[in-house]
Amino acid sequence: MKKKYLLLFVFCMCILNLCAQYRNEVYVNKKGYGVHCQMKGDTLNFYTFPFFLREYPNLSPHTDGSCTNGFLNLKYIEYYEERDSITNDISNFETVRYISMFLNYTDTFHKYKDKNGVLQYLPVTRIIRRWDRVGTDKWMYIDYLDNKFLEIKEYKEEIIKIDTSNIYDPATDMWSKNVIKYYKTEIIKK
């Protein structure tokens, strides 16, 4: 019986030691939405986003939109800050003022001549969705394909989903773990 408690005590001490190592190197931004921890070269990142972004898990905020693959459609998102500049740093989501989702495709009915004089199909980029921050806790959603307009209210205190991902960087031989918390959003006006 004592052996079981001793093993439990050793296990608890190891967990507490691991937590203490993380706690000693935690960096929190001013508003507390993006947190970065580092331990032994590997990183642990915490992000907090509105739940409406979870509908598009395969859309990377780091896509530059220059990638097209034949005639395939490619969707990507761009995040803009208050100065209408594109930003890739979304660790503090409070700085994001609006979000645009684009669709890339190739128009096979129209051609143009490239710099070498060769006829090419016309690449097209089209905005299909947009989210605008209209208040401290409200967003306006516009769906250009379905011609819809919605207002969305966010409840930052109510975390309703947590996702994690592990990313290995072979160039640095380090792991990065992302913990993404999604807070509640609700449609208030259709």
Domain ranges of the chain: 2-189
0.85 exceeded by the pTM? no
Lowest-confidence pick of 9-13, 73-77, 112-116:
9-13
Q: In 3D, which of 55, 56, 33 has the Cα closest to residue 46?
A: 33
Q: Which are the contacts of 98, defined by CB distance < 8 A and separation ≥ 6? A: 80, 130, 131, 132, 133
172 pLDDT exceeds 50?
yes
Q: In a 3-state reduction of DSSP, which class is residue 46?
A: strand
- Which of 89-103, 110-124, 157-171 is the most confident on average? 110-124
17 pLDDT exceeds 50?
no
